Amino acid sequence: MSKVLLIGSGGREHAIARALTRGGAKIYAVMKHKNPGIARIAKDYVIGDHNSLSFVENLDWVKFRKVDFAFIGPEEPLIRGMADMLESHGIPVVGPRKDAAIIEGSKEFMRELMKKHRIDGIVDYFVFTDPKRVEEFLKDYHKEFVVKPVGVTGGKGVWVMGDHFQTKEEGIEYAKRVLEEGIGGEKKVIIEEKLVGEEFTLQVFTDGRNIRGMPLVQDFKRAYEGDRGPNTGGMGSYSMEDHLLPFMDDKDYARAMKILEDIIAAMRREGREYKGILYGQFMLTAEGPKVIEINCRFGDPEAMNVLSILESNLVDISWNIIEGKLNEKIEFKNKATVVKYVVPEGYGTSNVIKGSEIKVNEDRIEKEGALLYYASVDEKSGRIYTTTSRSLAVVGIGKDLHEAEHIAEGALKHITGRIYARHDIAKREMIERKIEKMRELRGY
């Protein structure tokens, strides 16, 4: 039986913990916040800064090598080099080393890698450090554009024209602000052409050479219904029984898969072997899939879609990733999934209702046939309170999207408090609009 050190305390990590436990693992969890779901199934856990290399390095589990391998959920510890640190103590890791996690740590690195290796799906982009140059450039740029800090901002630092800003002048203002304030941790900004289409997520397992795809997922980043409001970490997501999306076919899937394969091969050629989970965020445009961003870990909420229907054993997959033997097929149930996050009122703004009690009727949720994953909550004397982050998520699983969505909605009725969820996610009207939009864009 494998003893697994699990880093992270969100909904994604609860889904990882459950899949590993299902596979026979014993979990030793390091969490910033006590995730009640992880705490309940873990053999043991500690609360502390799971992003801090020194905090984790000083745990007995690591110092005395009491675990068999580690699974790192979030990007931050990976980008900081947590995998390298653990490996130096003889603990193998599911997750890339620092020199490979840079694929998420620097959007400039990712774009340059794709350009240098002529990988399909690249987007026009321009990098600036000088506010005057960015202004001069944009004055003569006549397409719609997007402004992105080079570093990591959790999706919240990206401004899209027509969405977060309307005029070129506002875009210039924001690009200058990114440079002057060093938003994203670096005084560098990327200007990209604005892509039009539908977004989708493709996640893969890889041992650095072999790659195994997971079902496609569509994630909803905007806080409010109708895709309005501020960008968030993701309010919910869905996947379909055929593992495609309503507006995508297997040719589109194969093209996205080829892009990720090429990225992993390019990383190997650069001497940056990539092991773990690779996450591709794409825009399906009239010309096919284009890369919006590449992440070095599972998506959150997307992990809850795919891991809830994973049939293969995640412990075996983990060992195969570590040992470079990811040769076998990985099976997922042919079921649709719908994840809906429950967040505190005001989530995504500066007025989040924090410390407010949430009542969760776990029995009733189970009777609805839904799964429940905890994320960021405070637990005091058996009661659950909101923090400023996403609180918990329900997952409906069904023979088709309609059934899965219905189950997720049924489960939401058993969660009360000063909370909010997007009820429109995966509803029939929304899906039909997406199909129609893609049909128009592709001209059929």
Residue numbers of the site for ligand GLY (CB under 6 A)? Answer: 219, 234, 295, 299-300, 302
Q: Which stretch binds ligand AMP (CB under 6 A): 53-61, 190-198, 328-336, 374-382?
A: 190-198
Query: How far is residue 278 from each of residues 169, 196, 215, 431, measured CA to CA in Å?
Result: 36, 24, 13, 26
Closer of 99 and 124 to ligand AMP (Cβ): 124
DSSP classification of residue 229: E
How far apart are the C-alpha atoms of 112 and 94, rounded to whole Å?
25
How far apart are the C-alpha atoms of 286 and 172, rounded to whole Å?
28
* Residue 255-294 contact track with ligand AMP, rule CB under 6 A, x = bound: --------------------------x----------xx-
Closer of 8 and 171 to ligand GLY (Cβ): 8
Cβ atoms of 333 and 306 within 8 Å: the answer is: no
Instruction: Candidates 179, 195, 204, 309: give the one binding ligand AMP (CB under 6 A).
Output: 195
CB under 5 to 8 A by kind: which of ligand GLY, ligand AMP, none does 123 bind?
ligand AMP
Q: Does residue number 123 form part of the binding site for ligand AMP (CB under 6 A)?
A: yes
How far apart are the C-alpha atoms of 101 and 76, rounded to whole Å?
9
CB under 5 to 8 A by kind: which of ligand AMP, ligand GLY, none does 199 bind?
ligand AMP
Ramachandran area for residue 403 (φ above 0: left; ψ -120 to 50: alpha; else beta): alpha
Burial 407-416 (b: 16+ CB within 10 A, else e): bbbbbbebbe
Cβ atoms of 191 and 125 within 8 Å: the answer is: yes
Burial 149-176 (b: 16+ CB within 10 A, else e): bbbbbebbbbbbbeeebeeeeebbebbb
How far apart are the C-alpha atoms of 190 and 129, rounded to whole Å?
9
Residue 281 Cβ vs ligand AMP, minimum distance, rounded to whole Å: 5
Q: Does residue number 199 form part of the binding site for ligand AMP (CB under 6 A)?
A: yes
Task: Tell me the number of residues near ligand AMP by CB under 6 A.
Answer: 15
Q: Which phi and psi angles does 154 have, rounded to 5°?
A: 60, 30
Q: Which stretch binds ligand AMP (CB under 6 A): 187-195, 207-215, 355-363, 373-381?
A: 187-195
DSSP classification of residue 240: -
Q: Which stretch binds ligand AMP (CB under 6 A): 98-106, 193-201, 261-269, 424-432?
A: 193-201
CB under 5 to 8 A by kind: which of ligand GLY, ligand AMP, none does 195 bind?
ligand AMP
Residue 78 Cβ vs ligand GLY, minimum distance, rounded to whole Å: 13
Q: Does residue number 122 form part of the binding site for ligand AMP (CB under 6 A)?
A: no
Residue 4 Cβ vs ligand AMP, minimum distance, rounded to whole Å: 29
Closer of 231 and 237 to ligand AMP (Cβ): 231
Q: Does residue number 155 form part of the binding site for ligand AMP (CB under 6 A)?
A: yes
Pull the structure tokens for residue 370: 């839904």
Q: Does residue number 150 form part of the binding site for ligand AMP (CB under 6 A)?
A: no
How far apart are the C-alpha atoms of 191 and 137, rounded to whole Å?
10
Closer of 61 and 159 to ligand AMP (Cβ): 159
Q: Which stretch binds ligand AMP (CB under 6 A): 85-93, 194-202, 253-261, 358-366?
A: 194-202
Q: Does residue number 221 form part of the binding site for ligand AMP (CB under 6 A)?
A: yes
Q: Which stretch binds ligand AMP (CB under 6 A): 154-162, 325-333, 382-390, 421-429?
A: 154-162
How far apart are the C-alpha atoms of 414 and 389, rounded to whole Å?
20
Residues whose CB falls within 8 Å of the CB of residue 31, separated by 6 or more in sequence, listed in order: 8, 9, 13, 38, 39, 45, 46, 47, 48, 50
CB under 5 to 8 A by kind: which of ligand GLY, ligand AMP, none does 241 bind?
none
CB under 5 to 8 A by kind: which of ligand GLY, ligand AMP, none does 122 bind?
none
